A and B are shown apart, each in its own frame.
Chain A
Amino acid sequence: MKLEDLPSHVLSRIFLCLDAESLAKLQLLDSRWNELAGSNELWRMMLKKRFHVQSVNNKHLMNTGAVEWKNVFSNWVSIRRMPSSPFSGQRFPVLGRNADTDVYIWLTIRPSEDCHVSSGHLNLRLIIQNVMAAPLTFESSGISFTLKDGQPPAERSISDLGLYKSSCTGDVNPPELTKYPLLEEYDFIIYNCQVRAPPDAVIEPDALERFSEVQIPAREHKTKSHRLYRCEFVESEIWKHYECLPGGFWVFT
């Protein structure tokens, strides 16, 4: 009795409990395993599991003919694609990112209509995904922003927009709201952070430019040890997404 003699549906179940790197490693075992762990359907499921895309039968991809899902997967890893949800995904501009390899953080914004800091607040969004860390929880109450002058913004309030669990079956689960969300492999969580903009900033990019970084404390579930993730605002990225139209109107692109 060998592992590869298990019924194929049991094998796929095992494969889908694995991360992409382990799966790629199995392909190296021998030619039979290369076939088993390299099946196109399996990698299509991995794509769903890792990037939470609802449907990967997307027109753009289908038009390119036969799709090698594993190639798509490695491309998406290399561009560090944001996992998809109503509040995250490809179309959201990335204004900041972190340097860690086990947890990915994307910083984005829900822009106001006219891109003016009319209410004095910015709605910053943090998308945090566990890509290869041990299960961990993030402490939203401890999320802190720092301005370039070293001071924190005058006010900030954090709200949880949901924890998205990745599933082994390839289904997309609805987001969960829990007090101590546990992020296992490929799960991600979204926080909306309403922060007070510097009082003299009039338009969003101007306000954003004054921020330097955000720190997010986390705790490893098993060892209970504390970790601190920092995500920096990338200045050159910020202005790219705003455009001033003739007449002084600002738009978010």
Chain B
Amino acid sequence: MTEKGRIVKMVSQDQEEFEVEYGVATMSTLIANVLQDVSEETTTVPIPNVNAQVLAKVIEYCRYHYEAKRIDQSEEDIERWNKDFMKVDNKTLFNILIAASFLDIADLLDLGCKTVAGMIKDKSVEQIRELFCIEGDFTEEQEAKMREENNWGSEMSQENNAAQ
């Protein structure tokens, strides 16, 4: 295989071209599969449902992680980089998630999902509504009833003291 030095051209939805090293591009399982099925001269891969802004972010991720693996970057550094990388607005974050799922980049999908999960954790229902611009449509009674049913937190501490 002449993978070294091989360049893959990724074309975004809005027709912007990105030149990416083979090793970086094939961090996407989708692209790796596509490139396996075509002749070696083919270097252009259209990514029809990812726009340039998001694709640039995704490539940035792949490039960093490709390099990090090559130079054996410490786990703490990678973690810190990931954290900074995920500091984007919600819309971008969701689009990255969709792109990662489409391009089949498991690690990025995982990172994105954990980031969203982290945003939800330790927040109240009202805070989550605000965060994701959700207007509740339950009546107060319905909500109170549901809260009652979900009330394990306090239940658990009571259970602890009662010997089963």
Contact = CB atoms under 8 A, between A and B. Distances in A.
Interface of A: 1-7, 9-10, 13-14, 17-22, 24-31, 33-34, 74, 77-80, 94, 97-101, 234, 236-237
A3 B116 contact: yes
Interface string B112-147: 011011001101110011001111111000010011
Contacts of B113: 10, 13-14, 17
A236 B162 CA distance: 13
A77 B150 CA distance: 11
Given A28-B136, A74-B152, 14 more contacts: A2-B133, A6-B98, A10-B98, A13-B109, A17-B113, A17-B117, A27-B146, A28-B138, A34-B138, A98-B160, A99-B161, A101-B160, A234-B163, A236-B163
Given A2-B133, A3-B90, A18 B117 contact: yes
A30 B161 CA distance: 35
Q: How large is the interface on B (under 10, 10 to 19, 20 to 34, 35 or more residues)?
A: 35 or more
A21 B153 contact: yes
A234 B125 CA distance: 39
A14 B146 contact: no
Contacts of A1: 90-91, 94-95
13 contacts: A1-B90, A3-B132, A13-B110, A13-B113, A25-B123, A28-B147, A31-B137, A33-B134, A74-B149, A78-B155, A80-B156, A94-B164, A100-B160
Nearest to A73: B152
A10 B97 contact: yes
Given A3-B116, A30-B136, A99-B161, A77 B152 contact: yes
Nearest to B160: A99
Contacts of B150: 21, 24-25, 27-28
Contacts of B95: 1
Contacts of B161: 99
Contacts of A34: 138, 146
B160 A78 contact: no
B144 to A, nearest CB: 10
Contact of B116 (A2, A14, A27, A30): A14
Contacts of A3: 90, 94, 116, 132
B156 A28 contact: no
A237 B113 CA distance: 43
Contacts of B128: 25-26, 29
B159 A80 contact: yes
Contacts of B155: 77-78
Contact of B120 (A10, A18, A94): A18
Contact of A2 (B125, B132, B138): B132
A98 to B, nearest CB: 8
B8 to A, nearest CB: 25
B134 to A, nearest CB: 5
Contact of B146 (A6, A9, A18, A28): A28
B85 to A, nearest CB: 17
